[in-house]
Structure 1
Amino acid sequence: MEFLPAQGTPTLDEHGERNGPLTRVRLAWYYRPSDVSDRTVADCRLLLAAIYSEVCDISQLRAKCYVIHRDKITDLAGWKKRPDRFYFQRLFDPWIRKEFEVIQAASVRNLPTNIREVLLSRYEYVVAEKEVVPDLTDELRDCATCEKWCPPPETVQCDRYIEERGDDATVEVLSLVHEMSPKEVDALETYKTTLTRHERYKHNVDWLTEVIKRFSDAWVNGRDLLTVNMKSPLHQEKWKKSETRFIDKDFTDAEVAAFEDAIAIHGAELRPVREEVGSRTMPEVVRFYGHWKSTKLGEENTKIKAARASGKTVPARAPSRGAGSDDEGSTISDVARANHSCGACRTRESDTWWKAPKGLATTVLCDNCGISWRKYADLNVRPLREETIAAKSKAGDKREEVSFSDASKLRLVEGVSTIPEYRWMNKCTLCDSTGGAVVRCSDCPAEYHVSCAWKAGHKFGFEMQAVKSSRRETTIVIDFKDGSGCMVPLVTCKGHPVHRRQTYGICETNDAGDTALQVYAKTYKQAQVENTHGLLRKAQRLDSILNPDDSAESEISQSNPDPQCAKCRTEFSPHFYPTPPSTPPDDSTPSSMGLQTWLCHRCHFIDEHNSIDRMQGIILNGKATNGINGILSS
């Protein structure tokens, strides 16, 4: 960061001191890794250095942050715990979209002494490719013969000739003005002014570059400079098959209007601006934004100079960060009812609402989440959970959860085997052991046992989440005190700040005297014990785990919701078996006429055992009869 005086004023006076007043500042640019690549970076404090800086007015500053190199930080964990602290160790080049390593100049040792002294006196950091860093930071290597420095590791003898790669033929010649005579240069400058009548082209870098290149080509080929013209906006670039434009096509009035409307809505977020314009590429929008912004600032400065020349008082310009239009239109003054909750933490109350990135449940963020996103690009998004509880659900429709045989007394727990395996394997962050299933904090990645969290004084409660009208038929909605919706249990670390979302403690009671824990257990955790046996429910849970794809036989046995044994009339069995069509039941009751009949587990195996005995008896009797007939015949 460097503070500068007003534009047009020398930075230093004749005594070597800075001129005042200081009205501008030079800021260094940094990128977030997620902004320039698709890979995910878990550390939100890690940045990528840029290769350029920007001069802007002091009034445009939002806040101050601290960015230093990783090698200068002794305690990285402590540095990241402090607000507005960042670090970098690599540089990103946006033109070739490549990252480079940034090392301290003091760590470069494999250089001659005189060169290293100049390097240390002028520069603090060195930017190099990753493959070159080990060679630069290595110890000083000398030639084995002359004891002078030899840069590459394979150069170890003076008599070994290393051919230098690269000459004039490998570099594309863009300008040969330095080889022209003074008379030819004067003629070039004269002809250059006649190529266009547009004043803005005469100061356009792309246009001037193409002009010099065409003059150079004409001079090399021996053609008169008068033959050069700029009628064609196309040129042939190296390594490209077709010709491309060297200067962007002018924006139409409709495109300019769409661009300015999008800027008024989205500010400097140029991706949504490009979507609003529609007919331009992203590079074209970026370049036009730069020219458009410079034009607006130029018009504003012209008005200020004219006002000062006429003796009028120029009002002080309001700072760019105002209360009504904060951060270039990133805040929202009127929140729609459909979006009246933070897309990350689900809170419904906030003094300031920010625009949320795409992919969240709503389009707004509360003040805390909005500032965290703007500063660190980090959001702790809480999943929107709407439990769907059904009396009997097939395996795969929903994940089975722990329930109680008697939810009113919280006794006889069922479904422990359905808890996911990873919750048993993860360590508790409080006791540092894996002996038991863990739960995750609703506001951070910390995981711990429920008993450990209770002993540590963590906060237990329930959140009342709103349910969409389209899901009310499949979601159990309850009323508790002044809230209505789907009740979701929460466990939060005691160090987290209190959120403004609608939550109730587990001991809070309603008008009937029931606590929140009792209401939740009765509504969502009561096992269906009316028509099923505990052993059958356990068998069904284990079957859904071991055999997620049910066989045809199990599907047939579950097609009848209330099977009954055709012999003993029981309704409770680990499994019911269909009776063969050729074997009618013992009685011909109306319920068994024309309908599928069943045998319980016990009766099924008794029938199988009896049928085996009958078959053995038939075989034995058959052998005996044949023996008697043989004796009589003899």
Structure 2
Amino acid sequence: MDQFYVLKSGERLHVNDYAYLSPPWHARDGTAYSIGRIMEFLPPKDTDHQKGKGKAKEKPARVRVAWCYRAGDLIERQVSDPRLLLVALFSEVLSVKQLRSKCFVRHKDKISDLVAWKKKPDRFYFHRLFDPYIKREFEVLLTSDVTNLPNDVKDVLCTRYEFIACEKEFVQELTDPIHLCGTCSNWCANVDSVRCDTCKNFYHMACVQPPLSAKPSRGYGWSCASCARPHDVDIEAQDIRHGTPPVRGKAVSRVQKLKKPTLNSLTDDRESDDKYFKMWPFRYFGQYTVAEDTLDPNDLIFPRTATRIGPRFQTAVPNVGEKPSTDEVPERGGDATIEIMSWVHHMPSSAATEVEQRKTALGRKDMLHNVDYLTEVIARLSQAYLAKQSMSSVSLKNPVSNRKWDKSPRRYIDREWNDEEARAFNAAAQDARGDLRSVREEIPSRAMAEIVRYFVRWKNAQLRLQHRQAQLLALSTSKQVASESDDEGSIVVFDQETPDAAPATIFCGSCRTRDSAVWWKAPKGTASSVLCDVCGLNWRKYDDHGYSRIAREDPAAVKRNAAVASGTGSGGHEKREGTPQTALTKRQKTGAVSGDSTPTPPPLGKQPLCQCCKKPNAHGRVLKCRDCTLTVHAATCGAIYDEELIADWLCDLCQNKTSLEASLSFECMLCPRMAQVDGLKLQWKRERDHGSGFLRSAKPTEGQGWVHTLCSLFHPDVQYADASVLRTVEGVSTVSISRWSQTCSICNLREGATIKCFECPVEVHVSCAWRSDFRFGFEMQAVKPSKRDVNTSIFRGISGVLVPYVACARHSPDTKRIFSLCDMNHTGETVLQMYTRTSKQIAAGHSYPLLRKARRLDQLIPFHGVPTASASAAERAAWEREQKATKTSSSLYAKGGFAEESQKCSHCETEYSPMFYPDGDLWTCHRCHWNAAHSDLPAQTSALVVNGTWGGS
């Protein structure tokens, strides 16, 4: 009688069906469904050996499953095809409660149209086998395609098994025409046969004369006697000229040899007719298999490797001579050298009971598990017993322990930690990630031994808290009421009284939709804690992490599709099961179409690769400029994502070509100008600024100039008027003069503003660091409890201050919490957005943009008014000369004493000036007069123009 199991959805699962399996959500750590083949159904464990009860009459409680592996489970890199599986000769007994739904798995050669097969829901394919013990992959072939075997062996294989597994290099030999010995006409196995290099015939090594003891070494050939004799005759006749070797026919590939007539695509959906022997459809038949052994039904079917027994793998252990007998007993000390730490096992039962009572009464309850406390208590009670003193006389008020061999008294237990030390340790331990030397530097009042002991107690307390939270979560999950389809506890259930009242912050971590009939729990690392119905099932079934846009239908269309899938057409007439919904084409034959699976999920398009993080299928929306090659996450460039305008999105530089709000000449104001350097560097600048990459992303400044988005982020003196869109950049003029005067260690130019490596004193331009593959990100630094005026942030459950991090590629920030620019939390906010919001936004009360710019210019251009009491002598002298010149010019205005055409400057001999100033009997132009009047000012006022660039534009 055929056994089956009925799921809660009404779907039947039979033996040899493939199904999705998974334990409950809280037990599988957020992984996708596993896939396996049902080998047999088993009764409960305690009824396995009861007699008089057949398996068919019992309700199955367990199932034996042959596992299939996803390609992504075995390799670390991204897998392009989520429908590809690897079968295995490995089974496991599970509870039937782990069965989720049915799926279909076929061998690649048994599918007529692989592309159409993968477009259908719940369809998978395989062509390789993975052995979990030897960690190696094998090719899987149809037994009907194997030709190089004797007839009796091939008949047994074709009768018992549908497939065989072999090494990749052994496939060609199995699919070759049968190798027959040229002497005995029997089949030649590869191990004990050789091939003539001339006639290409095969011979047993024992059939040739003389017999061969081993195959020729690599690089050498062998010829049979019939081919070697003519060669010897030619050599003896001194006719050593060789004829032209015959042209071999074109090798027939395995695909051509295995090519079969095209099957009907509809037959792919029929139930598999694979052959099974002892519940397995395949066995290993490779280069380490003896063909005749496969005739034995008890022969092992598992993959094998070369033997590892022999002198090549085992060392030869020399014989060790007899050891000299040591009957001498080492000398021991006397009673005076012994220190008694415990005498409880020598006490009578009454005294031992009193010791236990006194031990409990002397300390707190939590101290009863402290080893140092117990050691000291037992030692003092034992000493009191030996001294014939009362147990009640023992006290632990003195924390100092006197040991016989200690040079100085020491405490038997550490002194209590106060609240300030505990808070400092908590912050330092979270920041140091186990580096107790760094923790010791934050708490100088404690010794290293005390730090280590307290860390053990602190870590145990953290683990205890996590364990209790997990227990409470499991208890609440078990009491939570969910729908019948929620077998694994991964459906998010909101308030039952108001089912439509989902939180407004809920959105899908894959497609960002906020509308879904069912919300599924999301795996770790996604932008949100939930997934919509389509993305949730797509991830659980196919382990597909593609985060591209999904086309969605209106509810009415979904209802119509559900009606069609259930076999109900218009008018409510139910169609017969297996009837196609559309007319069959000429190439389609009759065949059953399975309707048991879920509707086909929409195809996922490939998301563009962000030029900032360079991670395939990264979280978040990636935008691509319509005119240039800039492709970045929307949050990285401050763009507002609009589903309708995604195809027409323009970056800031391309948008400025039509709006003309800023300069049309893009040149970052914080990078080297390159105008006065040689042609090679000018060409490098042109390739840098007008090429592709993340440096194409730029933001306008308050003076209608441009800066790289990267430069505006990692220069601490630069801020944004609106940090949500990273515009407008202000404060370029306030960048410290020391940054403009440093030489970049990459381009060796003393131009532009530089920043310093976070790990070493190297000075670099931001753009040079990006092009040299420096590590860019934000470090989450812990804040000490004493610093209350710091704006802290919480990102992915970690609290602290976000600090820009730029480091050379040779540094390894393993001990730091570094987040890349595109990293995202569960709410969809990136770490870049959080940093700009907390550290780069100009406060709303800081006046208007034009007034802010004027104030910054006032700091750069000094105003020489009446000097204050603290003014220097040079400033006072300059002010007096300026006042004198002003009075002289005023008198010239009053008297009409403007310079005549014949007058010229006595210094530069120019005849053109807005005004001439008297200098004795001569005249001085306005420029020379200004230079002379301000020659005694401090040197810092001459730094208004740095590297040929005005900081205020």
Q: Output the TM-score relative to the length of structure 2.
A: 0.28
Q: Which has the higher contact order (CA 8 A, sep 6+)?
A: 2
Q: Output the TM-score relative to the length of structure 1.
A: 0.41
| Structure ID, larger Rg | 2
